[in-house]
Structure formats: structure tokens, C-alpha cells
Amino acid sequence: MYIGIDVGGTCTDAVLLDRGLVRAMAKVPTREDLLSSLLEALDEIMKGVEGELVERVVFSTTVITNLIAEKKYDPVGLILMPGPGLSPSLYRFPTDTHIIQGAIDYRGREIIPLRLTEVDQAAAELAARGYRKVAVVGKFSCRNHRHEKEVAARVLWNYPDWHVELGHQVAGQLNFPRRVVSTYLTCATREKYQFFVRSVQEAISQRGIKGAIFILKADGGTLPLESSLEVPVETIFSGPAASTLGVQALTPPGETAVVVDIGGTTTDLALILSGQPLLASRGARVDDMLTHVRALAVKSVPVGGDSVVERVGKDIIIYSERLGAPYCLGGPLPTPTDALRVLGLTRLGDVDRAREAMQMLGAPLGLSVAEVASRVTTRVIETITREIEAMFSRWEQEPAYRVWEVLQKKKVRPSTVVGVGGGAAGFVSQIAARLGCYPVIPPYAPVANAIGAAVARPTLQVTLRADTEQGIYIIQEEGYQGKITERSFNEEKALELAKEWLCKRAARHGLEDCVEGLEVTRREVFNMVRDWVTVGRLIDVTVQTRRGILYHVGAGGTSE
């Protein structure tokens, strides 16, 4: 049996799945003490079920998101080696930043050496200002981490008890400013996250569960809880990923669908293209900083069932904030939920109070209660529909760097609109109608997020970059740099090597089973030609375990 738990801002949802069927579900309020909510939800779904029967528990949580949003972490200083390029004044990081000499180029060659006296000076200044955590990041450190390691060694030689985080270990992709932010946040949250993970492990074992514990990442993959300690920042934003995977599990395979998760104050939109959730092309924005964190492409629209509706002049305007419950539920001001109640699209709350709310809005304009209600819902539907259209065109506008990529670009439009969340029932059919789609409100929609967590697959990937001219290769995710000894090293051998590394990595995380059905997601080979002679090759390959969900729910547990 599988358990999925989604610790959201208001509610903690949990489900118990037994071979694709929902055995039990629970919804409890999320309290300040996350662990107690977690245990309460767990106890509710486990009534009469032995802990030993649970093979795995997956949860998604806002703990890191909240830590970051509330800045509940120790200060972290930055020591950076940006080398030539953008003016450092364009980099605005929210902490003490020290820029020192030293540069690596795009092929990992040193172009400016380090000056260790500058390292000493930067560290001393940070120490004087009370820092004991520092992130060290160099431009192109993912192509050669020597400078970062030398700086770290020097800092730790001066201050052995400091916590030093290195850029190349946090993010292997190109984009220096994002690598800085990702490293900074990793350094900032690691200790607190460690504490959280330990208490979760403790609590779960208290309930007699011996199965594996996983945590959902923003990209919809899971990691063993223990392994997530390496990458705490990747666990942010797992909530929207959970509901998207939940919809994937609750709808037929292979469909192109829009996921509309209508909550109290926001509506989260996600796309499932031919059965797979769409990943954002760049890393997620965290606390208004750009990071390398891979995430599903989720767009949050600031409108929901509890948004405040007001009349301004001759206009009726929906604001992005919430000032309590809908009027029909005893709240202070009219909301879209009141409009739905009047139109009979929801059974929530008191219909007379809902009518009163519409009356307040419409009377000065001479509009009937029904007219106001339909105007309010139309506004909400228009806003959401516009955002869905924009999401599709943004996806079509993704840059392409190869001829075949440009040629294969075609317009894809969804066939279904799948609604989950509180306000879904009232709005989804009209949104679907506008888009020319079928509306679907799947069974278990209120706990789709917990279902998504329960069925998410573990994901691992390995990116290998080989430079045969220099005779070196790099494993991005491991921050490993090795030598190529074989003279006849080629693309096929690179692929083999990448697969070996993925197996090693899987073994380290206790995920041996998932190496079956590996996917090659990137394969690039460039000949390096100097004076009309091929002097070497640059080979980039990325291999990953299968993405997606373990099975569809309610369909007899067929495997995808």
C-alpha cells in the first residue's frame, strides 16, 4: 500500500492507495506544528491498517518554501568569482557579496588565476560581520570546479567550523546568477531541513511504518527523504506538482489537458501534454529570486473563490486579495463563491446571504442579482481562460536552436480541462466551453494532490559532458571531473559511461529498481575543428529514469 500526504498551507491531505484504489482519505487543518498535522492525517487513514503493509510514503510539503518566505534561516555570505562578462553591479544578491579574482572559461580552462589573499580578506570581513555560513560560486564552475574547491579549502582552513556550500555541487547547468541563488538558498536551509527530516523519520517509524519515505520535488519526481538532504531547495513548490500528478493519475493516459486548481485566493494552472506534465524551461523563481530549481510549469493566477469583489464606478472588479470567507459563509464582503451560490453552481453556504452580496454590488448599477452573479463569474472565467491561452502560446514561443526543432513546432491545444480544488465545480465547465474542451472533474478531486504524491515516481538523472580534446569528462549532478583515458572515446561510449554513473547514483539512493527503462533526454555532439582539422569532440548526454507516475488511479491500477 502507498500513502501520499500533501502538507498545504491550509489543509493537510492524505490518501491510502491499495493497488490503484483509494482505500482511505483524510483532510485535516495544517497547524503551526507541521508534524502533528502530518501524524493526525496519517492516523486517520491508517485506521485498522498495519504499518508494515505500507510500502512507501510520499509527502509534499511547504516547509522549505515557508522557511525561505519568512527568512527563518541564518545569514549566508557570498564569495563569487564572476570573471569577465556582465558588470557585477547587475548582480543584486540579497546579502553580503564579495567578488574576488579568478576565472574559468566555457570549456573549463582557467583564464585568470585565484588570489588567495583575496579569499582571506573576504572571509575575514564576513567573519567580522558575524557570518559563519558562506556560499562560494564561480562562473563556469560547472565546467571546472577547481577554483571553488580551492576557495572552500582556504576558508575552512581559516574557519574550520564554517558551513561552506559550493556552486558546482548545487547546480550543474549554465547560468551563474541562478547558481549563486540556488547555492545561497541551499546553504541557508540545509540545517533546518535536516532537523525537519529527522523528526519526520522519527514520527513515521513511531507509527510502525518501515516502508521507504520519499519527498516530492517541484519537478514532480520523488527523492528518498534521506537523499533530499543534499538538495533541500528542490523540495519547494511541490504542492502544485502534486496536484498536477494527481490529475495525471486520475485521467486517461496520453491526454493533453489543462489542470485548473481553483483555491481560495489563487488558481494554479498546469499543462499535461500528451500525458506528461510540462516542465518549466528555466528554473523556478523563489522569493523573487531566479534559481536553477527544476519545476513543473505552473502558473498561479491571483483569483479564487474567496477573492474580494467590489463595485468601482460602473465596473465590478475582482481583487487579488482575500479578506476572510465568502459572504455566504459569514465573511465580510462579496466573493466569486457567492456568485456561484446564486447561480446554483455550488451548494456551499447560505443562499440568502449570497443573494444579499450580489444585491449590494448590483443595486447602484440597476442590475439584478442574477445579472451581477453572472458578470462576476464571467470575469473570473475570462481571467483564467486568458491565462490558459497565454500559457500555451508561451510554450509555443520557447526558443529552438535546431532546424528540426523549429520545423516540428506545431500548435497543440488541449482536449480537456480538468478541475480540482474547492472552486472547481462551479467554474470548470464554463472554462472548458470557452476553450472548446471537455470539462472533467475527476473522482477524488479534493485529494488529487495527495494522490499525486502517492503515485509519483522517483527520478534521477545524470548529465555527462566530455571534451575529448582536453581528455576530460564531467558528471554534472555529482560535481565529478574525470579523465578520458581511451583514445577511441565516442558518443556511444559517453552514453555507456553516463548510464554507469546513473546506476551508481541510483544505488547510492537505494533506487536500484528504477534504472530499468532509462531515457536519453539530451544528446549533443560537436566536432571541434581547428585549421580545417577535427581536433576533438564535445559530447553532452543526459540520461534519466522514467518520469511520470507509477499507475493510474481508479482504473484498476494499470501501469503507465
Task: Using CB under 8 A, list all residues that contact other proteins.
Answer: 84-90, 105-107, 111-112, 139-140, 174-178, 282, 290, 396-404, 406-407, 409, 524, 526-529, 531-534, 538
**What is the rounded CA–CA span in Å between residue 500 and residue 379?**
54
DSSP labels, 229-294: GG-GGGGTTHHHHHHHHHHHHHS-TT--EEEEEE-SS-EEEEEEETTEEPBPSSPPEETTEE----
Q: How far is the CB of 465 from other proteins (least distance, A)?
A: 11
Nearest CB to other proteins, comparing residues 317 and 525: 525
Nearest CB to other proteins, comparing residues 174 and 317: 174
Nearest CB to other proteins, comparing residues 499 and 523: 523
Amino acid identity at 324: G
- Cα four-point dihedral sign 354, 356, 362, 368: positive
Residue 155 belongs to what H/E stretch?
helix 146-158
Decide if 457 contacts 295 (C-beta within 8 A). no
Nearest CB to other proteins, comparing residues 153 and 406: 406
DSSP assignment letter at 515: G
Q: At what angle do helices 448-455 and 238-250 cross, to 10 degrees?
A: 90
Decide if 502 contacts 518 (C-beta within 8 A). yes
**What is the rounded CA–CA span in Å between residue 469 and residue 530?**
11
Nearest CB to other proteins, comparing residues 108 and 304: 108
Q: How far is the CB of 109 from other proteins (least distance, A)?
A: 9
What is the number of other CB atoms lying within 10 angstroms of the CB of residue 514?
Answer: 17
Q: How far is the CB of 17 from other proteins (least distance, A)?
A: 40
Q: How far is the CB of 538 from other proteins (least distance, A)?
A: 7
Q: How far is the CB of 94 from other proteins (least distance, A)?
A: 16
Q: How far is the CB of 142 from other proteins (least distance, A)?
A: 8
Nearest CB to other proteins, comparing residues 139 and 145: 139
Nearest CB to other proteins, comparing residues 31 and 409: 409
Angle (CA) 539 542 545, round 5°: 155
Query: Which triple of cell numbers denotes residue 333?
Result: 464582503
- For residue 300, CA distances in Å to 21, 43, 417, 459, 478 come to 30, 32, 16, 25, 33
Nearest CB to other proteins, comparing residues 33 and 401: 401
Q: How far is the CB of 382 from other proteins (least distance, A)?
A: 23
Q: How far is the CB of 270 from other proteins (least distance, A)?
A: 21
**What is the rounded CA–CA span in Å between residue 246 and residue 445?**
8
Q: How many CA atoms lie within 13 A of 333 on its CB side?
A: 15
Nearest CB to other proteins, comparing residues 138 and 421: 138
Phi, psi of 225, deg, nearest 5: -50, -45
Stated length of the chain: 560
Q: How far is the CB of 398 from other proteins (least distance, A)?
A: 6
DSSP assignment letter at 329: G
Q: How far is the CB of 114 from other proteins (least distance, A)?
A: 15
Nearest CB to other proteins, comparing residues 147 and 178: 178
Nearest CB to other proteins, comparing residues 176 and 501: 176
Of 107, 109, 111, which Cα lies nearest the Cα of 537? 107
Nearest CB to other proteins, comparing residues 86 and 507: 86
- Cα four-point dihedral sign 404, 405, 406, 410: positive
Q: How far is the CB of 381 from other proteins (least distance, A)?
A: 28
Q: How far is the CB of 530 from other proteins (least distance, A)?
A: 9
**What is the rounded CA–CA span in Å between residue 509 and residue 437?**
42
- For residue 262, CA distances in Å to 31, 57, 422 come to 22, 26, 6
Which residue is it, cell 502530518? 38
